[in-house]
A = this chain, B = another copy of it.
Amino acid sequence: MIKTKLLITTLLMSVLVTSNAFAAKKVHRWKLAETWPTNFPIFGDTSKNMAKMVKEMSDGRLIIQIHSRNKHKAPLGVLDMVKAGQYQMGHTAAYYYKGKDINTMFFTTMPFGMVASEQYAWFYHGGGMELMEKVFDKHRILAFPGGNTGNQMGGWFRKEINSLDDLKGLKMRIPGFAGEVLAQVGAKPTNIPAGELFTALERNTIDALEWVGPSLDLRMGFHKVAPYYYTGWHEPGAELQFMVNKRAYEKLPKDLQAILKTAMRVAAYDMYTQSTHESGKNLASISKDYPNVKIKTFPNDVMTALRAANQQLLADFASKDTLTKEIIESQRTYLEQVRPWTNISDQAYLNSAK
């Protein structure tokens, strides 16, 4: 009987000792709401890539199920749903929520702002993450970079733009802040659902539109009806965002927090790489099959006017809110520091090493 008692005690202790390890095997099941439709290329690949890395690295202890807009029906409600804890996380773009909180606008991209490499440097070394934390804290959300599209194209135009006059009254699908800048120089910005864009452009309902770049424009077919493809100025490095409900994040064990943060970080960079690849591939395809497509850059007077309008609007925003002013100042001074480097490195190389 004493031997039996000893055996039972030993076994009990074994169970207790291993119970911690056993507890670590608890599976956390999260849901992510994404702004995009099911199987949307590149953007949708990014949340899938992130969830897959999390599953593999956590040995199945953190499972993130993705709901596309087809499921949750609220593409621009992601911030609210994550804030409410209805979803533990989301994949969206911060600037969609500028109507709710103007300060969310600055973390995706800004006209005449930073390119992807510069903006990542600002996020991770120039105070960008700290400012984003300040803005999203009031929404009880942790926000992280969620994938870069690279420099977005200025859009598809049915007619060539030879001077500022050609923009007067021009009907263009260009949403958000860039649309406000264009309105300042006399264009008529409008928003049209994605599914109706091709027909609107084909039937002259609009004169021009911007979408993303070759990576996502090719499948839309715009090059078939609007042969002037303008280089970009308004979204030089559009970065999506992952949003995480703060309380849900704090409930995760430390190792799963690290796994989630790392997976989001690499998935964001990976999207920039994928965007670069798909843009190169699709641009080659457009150039080959549609040799009449002409790549153009806006004339100097247009660029000067757009730049001035942009600066005026930013000054207006800065005068209204201390935090807005702080973010605009941070981005301006960081760009002033980093751009000379971009100029003497990649720009000088691309200009000289043809």
Q: Which of A79-87, A130-138, A189-197, A343-351 contacts B (4 or more CB under 8 A)?
A: A343-351
- Asked if B273 contacts A120 (CB within 8 A), the reply is yes
Copies in the complex: 2
- Taking CB atoms, residues of chain B closer than 8 Å to A343 are 350
Question: How near does chain B come to A76, taking the closest CB pair, in angstroms?
Answer: 27
Cα of A26 to Cα of B109 in the assembled complex, Å: 45
Contact of A258 among B25, B56, B295 (CB under 8 A): B56
A269 at the binding interface (Cβ < 8 Å): yes
- Taking CB atoms, residues of chain B closer than 8 Å to A350 are 115, 342-343, 346-347
A118 at the binding interface (Cβ < 8 Å): yes
A147 at the binding interface (Cβ < 8 Å): no
Q: Which of A65-73, A163-171, A173-181, A274-282 contacts B (4 or more CB under 8 A)?
A: A274-282
Cα of A277 to Cα of B279 in the assembled complex, Å: 26
Chain B minimum-CB-distance residue to A19: B18
Q: List CB contacts (< 8 Å) of A248-300 with chain B.
A: 253-255, 258-259, 262-263, 265-266, 269-270, 272-274, 276-277, 279-281, 283-284, 287, 295, 297-298
Contact flag A258-B57 (CB < 8 Å), given A151-B349, A279-B345, A350-B343: yes
Contact flag A276-B120 (CB < 8 Å), given A115-B349, A265-B266, A344-B153: yes
Q: Which of A9-17, A33-41, A200-208, A322-330 contacts B (4 or more CB under 8 A)?
A: A9-17
**For chain A, which range describes its interface: under 10, 10 to 19, 20 to 34, or 35 or more residues?**
35 or more
- Asked if B117 contacts A272 (CB within 8 A), the reply is yes
- Taking CB atoms, residues of chain B closer than 8 Å to A236 are 346, 349, 353
- Asked if B277 contacts A126 (CB within 8 A), the reply is yes
Contact of A349 among B233, B344, B351 (CB under 8 A): B233
Question: Can you sample 11 A-B contacts with CB below 8 Å?
Answer: A8-B8, A11-B11, A11-B15, A17-B22, A117-B273, A125-B273, A153-B344, A153-B345, A232-B348, A265-B270, A342-B350
